Amino acid sequence: MRHIISLLMENEAGALSRVAGLFSARGYNIESLTVAPTEDASLSRMTIVTSGSDAVIEQITKQLNKLIDVVSVMDLSEGEHIERELMLVKVRAEGDARDEVKRLTDIFRGRILDVSEHTYTIELTGSCVKLDSFIDAIGRELILETVRTGASGIGRGNRILSL
């Protein structure tokens, strides 16, 4: 099953490589991994999208907790949460396709950030599934380039990951 794990870690050199190294050394999947400092500059927040059986996910959480730099870990997918990913996509926009792409972008609540004679560059935010559907809707033959940030997540309501 797909899981989205959030963690807070010391914002120190090498902390990221400890997490990445853990996943590769133990053969765990990483679908995406994002990391950036938080409002407290001494802490970084990381979101990891992974998949595995319940036993594997339990091990992943325990092994992450065991890393000395990791302050706290939460499996967001265990409860209500919000998940967002940002994608920038450059598509070929010529002739009839120009209108069609514009229309689809509106439907998906995306924004066109850059326009050239032959291309649009579109910004789209949403769940990973939504971004996937947008790509399918546009059609792969029109897509010139995509860049995705990987998912970030946060719990709903009182589910708070803090020190």
Partner 1 sequence: MEMTGAEITIRCLQEEGVEYLFGYPGGAVLHIYDALFQQNKVKHVLVRHEQAAVHAADGYARSSDKVGVALVTSGPGLTNAVTGIATAYLDSIPMVVISGQVPTFAIGEDAFQEVDAVGITRPCVKHNFLVKDVKDIASTIKKAFYLAKSGRPGPVLVDIPKDVSAHRTEFVYPASVNIRSYHPQGRGDSNQIRHAAQLLLEAKRPMVYAGGGVVLSDSSAELTDLVRLLGFPCTNTLMGLGSYPANDKQYVGMLGMHGTYEANMAMQHCDVLVAIGARFDDRVIGNVEHFAQVLRKIIHIDIDPSSIAKRVKVDVPIVGDLKLVLGELLDVLRSSRQKPAATDMAAWWTQIDEWRVTGGGMRYKNSSEIIKPQFVIETLHKLTGGDAFVTSDVGQHQMWAAQYYKFNHPRRWINSGGLGTMGFGLPAAMGVQLKHPGETVACVTGEGSIQMNIQELSTCKQYHLPIKVLSLNNGYLGMVRQWQEFFHGNRFSESYMDALPDFVKVAEAYGHIGLRIDKPSDVEPAMKEAFSRKNDLVFMDFRTDPTENVFPMVPGGKGLSEVVLSEDL
From candidates 41, 68, 147, 160, binder to partner 1 by CB under 8 A: 68
Check binding of 63 to partner 1 (CB under 8 A).
yes
C-beta of residue 8 within 8 angstroms of C-beta of residue 78: no
Which residue lies nearer to partner 1 by CB, 25 or 160? 25
Q: Which of 97, 96, 59 is nearest to 75 (CA)?
A: 59
Largest CA distance in the chain: 57
13 binds partner 1 (CB under 8 A): yes
Build a one-symbol-per-residue string for 91-130: x at contacts with partner 1 by CB under 8 A, - elsewhere: ----------------------------------------
Q: How many residues bind partner 1 (CB under 8 A)?
A: 21
Q: Following DSSP, what letter does each residue of 26-79 receive, concatenated?
A: TT---SEEEEEE-SSTTEEEEEEEEE--HHHHHHHHHHHHHSTTEEEEEEGGGS
Question: How far does Cα 20 stand from its chain's mean position?
Answer: 15
Nearer to partner 1, 78 or 123 (CB): 78
From residue 149, how far is each of 2, 6, 129 by CA, in Å? 17, 15, 14
162 counts as binding partner 1 under rule CB under 8 A: no
Q: Which residue's structure tokens are 């032959």? A: 118
> Residue 70 interacts with partner 1 (CB under 8 A)?
yes
Q: Is 78 in the site for partner 1 (CB under 8 A)?
A: no
Instruction: Establish if 40 lies at the interface with partner 1 (CB under 8 A).
Output: no
Residues that bind partner 1 (CB under 8 A): 9-10, 13-14, 17-18, 21, 25, 55, 58-59, 62-63, 65-66, 68-72, 163
